[in-house]
A and B are shown apart, each in its own frame.
Chain A
Amino acid sequence: MIIVHVEPENQTLIFRSLNTVLMLQKRLGLRVTDALVIRGSELLTPDIQIQDGDEIHIRKVTSTG
């Protein structure tokens, strides 16, 4: 199980399985540069494998005013 927190909406999503960061971004309808993908204190590039038990933060970067 993978827990994904989406900011700034403060949504929490749970995925049973995800292969890579790119797959997660596609599932969320995001392009590579639409959001930071954070695991712990590291930023993840699209090719990184997501592991079962990971907790990921998606921080969208577009300022809305």
Chain B
Amino acid sequence: MKCRKCKVPAEISLPSHNTAFCRACFSTYFTGQVERAIDKHKLILPGESVLVALSGGKDSLTLMLELSRLGHDVTGLHVDLGIPVSSAAARAKVEGFCAQHGMKLHVVELIKEGLPIPDVKKYINRPVCSACGKIKRHWFNRVALEGGFHCLATGHNLDDEVARLFANTLRWDAGYLSDQGPCLQAESGFARKIKPLYRLTEFETACYAFINGISIHSAPCPYSGGASFTGHKALWSNLEYNSPGSKISFYDGFLKRGRPAFALVEKEEGHELSPCTSCASPTSTEVCGVCRLKIAVTERRAADPDRATDRVRDKA
């Protein structure tokens, strides 16, 4: 295969675009897609500060590097989940990456916040991925607001967005369908949230990470077995194979014709939000979901005889 632009041997084949690129031309294409997303949806305005959520995976580190190269004022945010082995490895990747590139980094440690994910898994009777996502989003928003950042950027790619849109559509979840998209404007105690990689696939972000020598945390989360999004991604991979371009068509079509309709419904039926009485984060109840999780975990941990034994052993 030859690079479509410069005709040297290609390294990256993109069937969805019926094309292939060499490294240099792929980088130009990649940057063009990010700039197009930023310009089209006004994700970042000149001079704005951006907090970038960093998990240690290929997408978030790629986003951080690309936004930095585009000249944006970026600061990383890593939430250390407190999962044995896995969290330390992910955090080391993030810290190493930021040190290597001289980037600012803020770390939230859930152990210090009294809500490590292993305890959530042990004491809360709901899917741990759902609770973990809620806790991470809570801290992303809180740090963005308290730090005075103009927006919070996440590394969601096209595959993530299509899988999530598909899941929301299967449930006809009007609340989520009303605001899913590359930009969620700031309102009611929420920072502006942006997804500058939404036009790029997982394969493309993986290629970018590889050719830029980004060392990533690739081990799957030990708690995420059977996550439904993984199955949805496989299903969409088949659709895309049989009909290249299906993903971006489905997503762009939703943004143009689906989301506005759901936004109207949500405007009429949505819940009023007010500050949480404990942490001031926006919530439709008196105490927000994360503070309620923290209260429940704290109570059940205190009543757990096994943990009491742990504490005695730790002191000894």
Residues of A with Cβ closer than 8 Å to B? 7-8, 31-34, 36, 38, 42-47, 59, 61-65
Contact = CB atoms under 8 A, between A and B. Distances in A.
A36 B207 contact: yes
Interface string B209-224: 0110000001111011
B288 to A, nearest CB: 23
Contact of B206 (A44, A46, A59, A65): A59
Interface stretch (B11-19, B137-145, B298-306): B11-19
Given A31-B241, A43-B12, A63-B59, A38 B210 contact: yes
B58 interface: yes
Contacts of A59: 206, 210, 218
A38 B210 CA distance: 9
Contacts of A8: 218-220
A43 B15 contact: no
27 contacts: A8-B219, A32-B15, A33-B237, A36-B203, A36-B206, A38-B210, A43-B11, A43-B210, A45-B10, A46-B1, A46-B13, A59-B206, A59-B210, A59-B218, A61-B58, A61-B202, A61-B205, A62-B159, A62-B202, A63-B202, A64-B220, A64-B221, A64-B224, A65-B129, A65-B221, A65-B224, A65-B229
A18 B210 CA distance: 24
Given A7-B218, A59-B206, A32 B13 contact: yes
B221 A61 contact: no
Contacts of B14: 33
B233 A62 contact: yes
Contacts, number: 69
B133 to A, nearest CB: 9
A1 B159 CA distance: 35
Nearest to B133: A65
B15 A42 contact: no
Contacts of A62: 159, 202, 230, 233-234
B220 A65 contact: yes
Nearest to A64: B220
Contact of A63 (B20, B58, B237, B240): B58
B82 to A, nearest CB: 16
